[in-house]
């Protein structure tokens, strides 16, 4: 009896697997049978451009690349708050947990759940590209953000430009960093699009133009304050002279500053970051941090919901727009502190 | 002469890991003169304080046949709640106690799962790992808590010129050493870890001892949370990810055995510093991130293989009884 049951169950399992595997050749072999069958169904009306429908409430899915790092969390919170202002939009947020496979599964689930519009914040643009294409093929609006995925006909995008975010700092550094300076560099996670683009920008806009500057330490601190602190402590130990800290984000820059805050030898240390976090703005106001570039999650959220609303109500068919990359220094930091205070972040 | 050789072998068997530590120290001093300065050694100790305190908690648990995979996450949760308490009450004492209390509370939940419901510690603490991290992120909405003011005194202050993290480290070292060597609880841990059935048969109330073990671990984790947040001058809900593995590494290199019943506080300290010296010398020498990871893993494996080899006179493990180690 037991053996009979086991054989029948095994047979059903095999049938399910075979049915799954024989569907869309595009689907990776790791996908469970159910999901590939769903995507096959949604691919049937091939290349159906999304069309606006008149509805009372539109369901929008926001698929975040992660919610654990503070910028991604800020963005997710800002999008939620912004969506609450729209009566005709009901928003659901999903967490990709900084994992490509997880994010791709969430995109497929959102398609199956027939959302009207899906916003995707890619973990890795190329990994999510085929899945965003699936969204469009299912007749659902798609917006990619932070960072946009280029060249997907029919999809919209709202972005900040990580190359520019670093470049505005680098151009200032060209004037400020002294001749023959010794600098240290703090990088974001390896393979991360923003981390890579910002580093590339510093290379082209600064290091290539200033061959007199020496990098005495460069490590990956994974956007984290405590990891940056450890590296800075060791660098201070092994180098007589450090003139500047070039960081790909504000958290790591703040970590480096934490180490030298009571050390008079570093009173003139130049420190550059990106993001415009509350901590960075306060440090710039105190005169300890030199500059950062605001990556306003509030602006991204406002633009995203505005774009979503325009697409869903048929005002536009495709929108591609950027937020600004303002450089923040001691001269203009007060107005940004005001913005954060108004939003309750300070 | 043969007597001397035998004595050396016995000495090596007992103190091998400290020899490895001393040799590593000497090698590092030669590679980079900056290594030997008081500032650098003080830096290393401050950097290691948090993970080593976690490692002491891990040592007590592993000796007793248990485990705590939730250390990093519970550290983050206790830390952010402690910081938040300080921001509302401006009381250093209260926020310190809140940190420790949250650590104990989460670990008592671990104890309920492990001791009362007989859940394997790996699973129970893995569950707590995700729960605690989720709770920390939920409480802070994923954002860092800033402007800690005087709270930093825990991790950045000093008493009579000695940095506070080092004072805490030494304090917890002494507590762990004394607990393991000179209390009934400590002896019970060795007994329970060595053979739980025999321990029950000899009248040890195993369940109670397990609760105490997790409570002590919880206090250590909570304290680490306070130290960590005050050192980075922010309440970081994402902080200390994977710290439990660093704690386990220090304990294992220091001679604590996963099979239970074996381990010492000083061994764990040595294990922590071996990894600490290694990381430090690689940073001072400007070794690339990726290479550092490879080297760190390789040295850890080699240190443990060497240590086990010395203990078993390099005989194949199948021929050596557990009692010999």
B70 close to B128: Cβ distance less than 8 angstroms: yes
From first CA to last CA, the distance across chain A in angstroms is: 68
CB-CB neighbors (< 8 A) of A217 in chain B: 286
A251 touches chain B (CB under 8 A): yes
Sign of CA dihedral A297, A303, A307, A313: positive
B180 pLDDT more than 80: yes
**Average pLDDT score over residue span B188-199:** 93
What local confidence, expressed as pLDDT, does residue A30 receive? 40
Q: Considering CB atoms only, which of A70, A190, A251 is closest to B142? A: A70
B311 pLDDT more than 80: no
CB-CB neighbors (< 8 A) of A297 in chain B: none
Search chain A and give the residue with CA nearest B136.
A68
CB-CB neighbors (< 8 A) of B153 in chain A: none
Averaged over successive runs of 10 residues, the pLDDT of chain A (346 residues) comes to: 83 74 44 40 52 85 85 89 93 89 91 93 86 93 88 90 92 95 93 87 96 94 90 91 96 95 91 93 95 92 94 90 91 92 79
- The enclosing H or E element of A94 equals strand A89-95
CB-CB neighbors (< 8 A) of A220 in chain B: 289
CB-CB neighbors (< 8 A) of B142 in chain A: 67-70, 72-74, 76-77
A237 touches chain B (CB under 8 A): yes
How distant is the Cα of A100 from the closest Cα of chain B, in angstroms?
20
Where does CATH 3.40.50.2300 sit in chain A? 54-158+297-315, 163-294+330-342
What local confidence, expressed as pLDDT, does residue B322 receive? 53
**Domains by residue range for chain B, with CATH:** 41-311 (1.10.3470)
- Lowest-pLDDT range of A24-28, A325-329, B162-166, B236-240: A24-28
Banded pLDDT at B239 (limits 50, 70, 90) = confident
Q: Does domain A163-294+330-342 have CATH number 3.40.50.2300?
A: yes
Cα-to-chain-centroid distance, residue A153: 21
pLDDT tens track for B261-305: 889 999 999 999 998 998 888 888 888 878 988 988 898 888 778
DSSP string, B154-188: HHH-EETTEEHHHHHHHHHHHHHHHHHHHSHHHHH
ipTM for this model = 0.74
Among A220, A225, A279, the strongest candidate for a mutation testing the B interface, having the largest count of B CBs within 10 A, is A225
pLDDT tens track for B19-29: 889 999 999 99
Report the alpha-carbon distance of residue B121 to residue B115 in Å, rounded: 9
A257 close to A226: Cβ distance less than 8 angstroms: no
How many Cβ pairs closer than 8 A exist between chain A and B? 79
- Lowest-pLDDT range of A55-59, A203-207, B48-52, B131-135: A55-59
Report the alpha-carbon distance of residue A320 to residue A314 in Å, rounded: 15
CB-CB neighbors (< 8 A) of A235 in chain B: 283
What local confidence, expressed as pLDDT, does residue A45 receive? 42
Banded pLDDT at B167 (limits 50, 70, 90) = very high
Q: Does domain A54-158+297-315 have CATH number 2.60.40.10?
A: no
Report the alpha-carbon distance of residue A129 to residue A74 in Å, rounded: 24
What is the three-class DSSP state of B37? coil
B9 pLDDT more than 80: no
What local confidence, expressed as pLDDT, does residue A91 receive? 95
- The enclosing H or E element of A12 equals helix A2-21
What local confidence, expressed as pLDDT, does residue A21 receive? 58
**B226 closest CA partner among B42, B49, B45:** B49
CA distances from B281 to A222, B98, B139, B274 (A): 21, 36, 38, 11
DSSP string, A164-210: HHHHHHHHHHHHHSPTT-EEEEEE--TT-HHHHHHHHHHIIIIITT-
- Structure token pair of residue A327: 């450089």
pLDDT tens track for B274-286: 989 988 888 888 8
What is the three-class DSSP state of A48? strand
What local confidence, expressed as pLDDT, does residue A43 receive? 43
- The enclosing H or E element of A125 equals helix A125-137
Search chain A and give the residue with CA nearest B33.
A238
Mutual angle of helices B71-89 and B38-63, in 10-degree steps: 120
How distant is the Cα of A5 from the closest Cα of chain B, in angstroms?
31
Alpha helices in chain B (DSSP H): 2-31, 38-63, 71-89, 92-111, 121-140, 153-156, 164-182, 184-194, 196-201, 206-232, 243-253, 265-284, 289-311
């Amino acid at each position: 009896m037991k053996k009979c049951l086991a054989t029948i169950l095994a047979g059903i399992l095999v049938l399910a697997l075979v049915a799954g595997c024989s569907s869309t050749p595009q689907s990776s072999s790791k996908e469970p049978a159910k999901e590939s069958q769903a995507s096959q169904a949604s691919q049937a009306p091939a290349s159906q451009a999304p069309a606006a429908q008149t509805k009372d409430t539109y369901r929008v899915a926001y698929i975040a690349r992660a919610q654990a790092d503070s910028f991604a969390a800020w963005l997710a919170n800002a999008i939620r708050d912004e969506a609450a202002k729209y009566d005709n939009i009901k928003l659901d947020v999903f967490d990709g947990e900084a994992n490509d496979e997880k994010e791709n599964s969430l995109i497929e689930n959102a398609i199956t759940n027939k959302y009207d519009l899906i916003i995707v914040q890619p973990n890795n643009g190329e990994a999510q590209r085929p899945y965003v294409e699936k969204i469009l093929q299912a007749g659902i609006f798609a917006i990619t953000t932070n960072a946009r995925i280029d060249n997907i006909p029919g999809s919209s995008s709202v972005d900040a430009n990580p190359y520019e975010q670093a470049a505005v700092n680098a151009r200032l550094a060209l004037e400020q960093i002294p001749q023959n300076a010794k600098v240290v560099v703090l990088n974001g996670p390896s393979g991360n699009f923003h981390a890579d683009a910002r580093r590339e920008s510093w290379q082209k806009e600064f290091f290539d133009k200033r061959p007199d500057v020496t990098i005495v330490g460069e490590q990956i601190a994974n956007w984290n304050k405590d990891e940056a602190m450890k590296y800075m402590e060791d660098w201070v130990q092994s180098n007589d002279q450090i003139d500047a800290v070039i960081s790909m984000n504000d958290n790591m820059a703040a970590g480096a500053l934490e180490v030298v805050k009571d050390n008079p030898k570093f009173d003139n240390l130049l420190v550059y970051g990106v993001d415009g976090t509350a901590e960075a703005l306060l440090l710039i106001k105190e005169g300890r941090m030199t500059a950062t570039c605001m990556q306003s999650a509030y602006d991204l959220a406002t633009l995203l919901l505005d774009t979503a609303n325009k697409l869903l109500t048929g005002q536009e068919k495709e929108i591609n727009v950027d937020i600004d990359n303002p450089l923040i220094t001691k001269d203009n930091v007060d107005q940004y502190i005001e913005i954060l205070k108004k939003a309750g972040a300070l | 002469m043969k007597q001397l050789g035998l004595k050396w072998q016995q000495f090596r068997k007992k103190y091998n890991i400290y020899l490895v530590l001393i040799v590593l120290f000497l090698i590092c001093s030669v590679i980079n003169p900056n290594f030997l300065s008081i500032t650098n050694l003080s830096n290393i100790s401050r950097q290691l304080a948090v993970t080593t305190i976690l490692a002491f908690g891990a040592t007590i648990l592993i000796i007793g046949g248990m485990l705590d995979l939730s250390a990093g996450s519970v550290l983050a949760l206790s830390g952010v709640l402690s910081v938040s308490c300080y921001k509302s009450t401006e009381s250093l004492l209260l926020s310190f106690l809140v940190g420790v209390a949250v650590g104990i509370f989460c670990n008592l939940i671990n104890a309920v799962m492990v001791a009362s419901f007989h859940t394997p510690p790996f699973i129970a603490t893995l569950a707590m790992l995700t729960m605690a991290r989720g709770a920390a992120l939920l409480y802070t909405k994923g954002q860092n808590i800033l402007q800690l003011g005087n709270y930093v005194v825990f991790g950045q202050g000093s008493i009579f010129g000695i940095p506070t993290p080092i004072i805490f480290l030494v304090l917890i070292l002494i507590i762990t050493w004394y607990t393991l060597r000179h209390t009934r609880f400590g002896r019970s841990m060795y007994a329970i870890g060595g053979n739980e059935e025999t321990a029950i048969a000899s009248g040890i109330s195993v369940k109670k001892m397990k609760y105490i073990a997790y409570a002590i671990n919880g206090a250590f984790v909570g304290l680490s949370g306070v130290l960590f947040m005050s050192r980075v001058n922010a309440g970081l809900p994402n902080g200390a990810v994977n710290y439990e593995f660093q704690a386990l590494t220090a304990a294992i290199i220091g001679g604590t055995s996963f099979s239970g019943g074996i381990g010492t506080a000083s061994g764990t300290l040595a294990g922590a510093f071996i990894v600490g010296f290694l990381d430090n010398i690689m940073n001072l020498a400007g070794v690339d991130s990726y290479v550092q990871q490879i080297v760190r893993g390789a040295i850890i494996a080699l240190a443990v293989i060497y240590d086990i080899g010395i203990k078993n006179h390099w005989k194949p493990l199948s021929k050596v009884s557990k009692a010999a180690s």
